[in-house]
Amino acid sequence: MFKGSIVALITPMDEKGKLCPKSLKNLITYHIKNNTSAIVSVGTTGESSTLSQKEHINLVLRTVDLVEKKIPIIAGTGSNATEESINLTQKFENVGISACLSVTPYYNRPTQKGLYEHFKSISENTSLPQILYNIPIRTGCDLLPETIAKLAKYKNIIGIKEATGDLSRINQIKTLIKKNFLLLSGDDATALDFIKLGGDGVISVTANIAAKEMAQMCRIALKEDYYNAQLINQLLMPLHKYLFIETNPIPVKWAAQKLGLIENSKLRLPLTMLSSDNKKILNNIINQFVIKTCNSS
């Protein structure tokens, strides 16, 4: 269900910073059409940290309605407060989502024991499948392989989004966990190598604007046709790099608007619009990508 290219979906907003339903529908149609494997709704790329809980819940529910069971939905439910994570997770029981993505508690910087107890508590208070999310650069804490292995003993903890970019983690986790456990990359630039080493796919920022190519690359790589997967990945590599020219999701929202996928690239403070200099750089990268994909099709 969760193999391949999974999009970390942006949250389209209007000029006033409110959800843009028209653009959300357009994005979902785009991903269904281009064979994205699943949608992460209201994760980091979806600006979860600046949405109220009411907005967060309504956005996930609206996404469920628009998808019409055509593609699995993973709801972002992470928080730095365990009780809040549990409460948010329970809001999505029996609404049609397939799993939750729960990031390590940010700012608190818990110990490995604290991380274990946090995810254990969430697991014990829901029947929904849980995907752990490790991204130390944003959270200030690192969920280590040994702790992941302890958590994997819980039936509804089914996998991890590993976004350290450290490819050695894959073998460490696979060595410690004997059951079938999803390994998803959280780093587009190393996603192909991640799959080569035994990963199941990627939760992707790049897929927001290159859904077809990311889906193809992952599908081919999972069939172990690494030569052709690498050809696609070389085409995508400038996007992998320059979509992070400023803090995610600033560049990818601007790129999505440029490509006509959303009507507005509005963000909520403290995130600001892409700078003029970086617009020029990213504009050039996107134009080259469009030309190359047109020529290769």
Residue 154 annotated in active site = no
The reply to whether 203 sits in an annotated binding site is: yes
106 given a catalytic annotation: no
- Partners of residue 134 on adjacent β-strands: 162
Q: Amino acid identity, residue 155?
A: K
Reported residue count of the chain is 297
Q: Which whole-number Å values give the CA distances from 170 to 21, 80, 86, 231, in the listed order?
A: 38, 25, 28, 23
Give CA angle at 259 (240, 290), nearest 5°.
60
Q: How many CB atoms lie within 10 A of CB 275?
A: 13
131 annotated as belonging to a binding site for a ligand: no
Which listed residue (30, 133, 150, 242) is catalytic?
133
Q: Quick one: tokens of 287? A: 């134009």
* Distance, CA of 243 to CA of 55 (rounded, Å): 26
Six-digit token string for 202? 């990627």
**Catalytic choice (150, 161, 212, 253):** 161
Binding residues: 45, 203
Binding residues for pyruvate: 45, 203
- The set of catalytic residues is 133, 161
